[in-house]
Amino acid sequence: MTVKLKAVVIDNQNEKFTRDIKEIDSGHLKDGNVLIKIDYSSLNYKDAMILKDGGRIVRKFPFVPGIDFSGKVVESEDDRFKKDENIICTGFRVGEAYYGGFSQYAKVDSNFLIKNPKNIDSKKSMMLGTAGFTALQCSFAIKAREELLLGEKVKDVLVTGATGGVGSIAVMILSKMGYDVHAVTGKKDKNDYLKDLGAKNIIDRKDFEGESKLLEKGTWDGVVDTVGGPSLTKILAQVKPNGIVASCGNAGGIKINTTVMPFIIRGVKLWGIDSSGASIKRREFLWNEAEKLIDFNKLKSLTKELSFTELLNIYPKLLEGKFFGRAIVNPNK
């Protein structure tokens, strides 16, 4: 089957980076064994970096970005996926090394796909998207303190970058799990927004600037850190014995200047979250848990639906920290 399709295409010829909406032939989609008609994708921080200049991530041009998508199977060479079944694709370097979701169609390896859970349709799945899936991973890492490690019950959880895609959904999930969520943000006008998501307390991100002692007062049973960088050094010194820090972002920088003291004196666990390479078994578990932990009515009110044209206008705001909530991309809008 060959079709014409509309897609966002980035290119970098003679050191001139471009991003355009183009019509291409589905014959250009050669990466996998399942052809999908895309219903929705979503805008993530990594997508915004790639749309800006490739983000030092994309190596081949021209290229179709978009690190996640949902839609219906059109053709499949794998018996596990039948025509018209609804699927979800996040990670596995789709939108980085393989043509991604900012398109009306995609062709990917069947090993990258999972089927939609019963009560989560294509739109809901991308209201969560990679950000929501990452937030689920982080939240269950925190929960592991009392379940896998048989530690004391989790009570106080810190979430950095709380108005971002991962952070805001993590606030919602952790609150639903019954924890007291302390949301860190530099946006003072978003206090009501965060409390509506379930945050018990709002903390100014400036509180985590400056030099840290080797160990500070143990305050947090768990931390979801979406920022990275220097603030993580101070946060690690404030985690209680046997606490868990789920690290999933680097908007604040890729380097931390810490010591072994939180790890060998308090047994703190720094748990790296790789949402791109998570196993299919773990993906299926987490997506099936989403219905119990996400208020999709609330999430819908925080979600903006974008056309490709709107996507290209809005992505810079995400990089500048001027966009909050969720943005889904409708390729047929």
Q: Hey, what's the torsion of the CAs at 200, 228, 131, 195, to 10 degrees? A: 10
Contact yes or no for 172/198 (Cβ under 8 A): yes
Look at 210 and 144; give whichever has higher pLDDT: 144
Confidence of residue 30 (pLDDT cuts 50, 70, 90): confident
Span 4-26, mean pLDDT?
94
Residue 323 has pLDDT above 90, yes or no: no
Structure tokens at 181: 């969520």
Q: Is the pLDDT of residue 27 over 90?
A: no
Please report the pLDDT score of residue 127 as a whole number: 97
- pLDDT for residue 68: 98
pLDDT digits (tens, 9 = 90+) for 112-157: 999 999 999 999 999 999 999 999 999 999 999 998 888 789 999 9
Asked, for residue 291, whether it belongs to a domain, the answer is no
pLDDT at position 47 = 97
Q: Are residues 108 and 147 in the same domain?
A: no
Cα 139 from chain centre: 13
Listed range (98-102, 179-183, 323-327) with the worst mean pLDDT: 323-327
Per DSSP, the three-state class of 257 is coil
Give bridge partners of residue 305 from the DSSP assignment. Answer: 328
pTM of the full structure: 0.95
Residue tagged 């899936």 (tokens)? 133
Q: How confident is the model at residue 180 (pLDDT cuts 50, 70, 90)?
A: very high
Q: In the chain, what are the helix, strand and coil shares in percent, each to the nearest 5? A: 35, 30, 40
Residues contacting residue 322 through CB under 8 Å, at least 6 positions apart = none
Do 109 and 134 fall within a single domain?
no
Residue 281 placed within a domain: no
Q: Using 50, 70 and 90 to split pLDDT, how confident is the model at 228?
A: very high
Which residues, 6 or more positions from 211, have their beta carbon under 8 angstroms from its beta carbon? none
At residue 202 the predicted structure's pLDDT band, cuts being 50, 70 and 90, is very high
Q: What is the pLDDT of residue 324?
A: 80
Residues 227 and 252 in one domain: yes
**240-274: pLDDT as tens digits:** 999 999 999 988 899 998 999 999 999 999 999 99
Locate 97 and state its tokens: 């090394």
218 within 8 A of 240, measured Cβ to Cβ: yes
Radius of gyration (C-alpha) of the chain in whole angstroms: 20
Sequence-ordered list of residues with C-beta below 8 angstroms from that of 118, at least 6 positions apart, any chain = none
Mean local confidence (pLDDT), 183-194: 92
pLDDT of residue 321: 83
Instruction: Kindly state the tokens that stand for 283.
Output: 């993906």
**Same domain (yes/no): 25, 68:** yes
User: Are the beta carbons of 112 and 285 closer than 8 angstroms?
Assistant: no
One domain for residues 112 and 134: no
Query: Could you tell me if 209 and 324 lie in one domain?
Result: no
d(CA 78, CA 52): 35
| Domain-embedded: residue 264 | yes
The answer to whether residues 243 and 222 touch, using CB atoms and an 8 Å cutoff, is yes
Mean predicted lDDT score pLDDT of the chain:
95
| pLDDT band at 183; cut points 50, 70, 90 | very high
Q: Are residues 159 and 203 in the same domain?
A: yes
Give the whole-angstrom CA distance, residue 18 versus residue 30. 22
Token match 């790296």: residue? 272
User: What CATH number did the domain enclosing 240 receive?
Assistant: 3.40.50.720
108: containing domain? 4-116+302-329
- The answer on 180 and 260 residing in a single domain is yes
In a domain, 277, yes or no: no
| Among candidate residues 122, 135, 151, the one with its CA nearest the CA of residue 37 | 122
Q: Does residue 22 lie in a domain region? A: yes
Average pLDDT over residues 291-317: 96
Predicted confidence band at 15 (pLDDT cuts at 50, 70, 90)? confident
Same domain, 38 and 82: yes
Task: Examine the pLDDT at 1 and tell me if it is beyond 80.
Answer: no
**pLDDT at res. 105:** 97
Do 106 and 137 have their domain in common?
A: no
The Cα 123–Cα 19 span in angstroms is: 25
Query: Quick one: pLDDT band at residue 17, thresholds 50, 70, 90?
Result: very high
Q: Total domain count for the chain?
A: 2
Here the tokens at position 245 are 């820090």
114 neighbors 88 (Cβ within 8 angstroms)? yes
Q: Considering all CA atoms of the chain, what is the largest pairwise distance in Å, rounded to the nearest integer?
A: 63
* Neighbour tally for 277: CB within 10 Å: 8
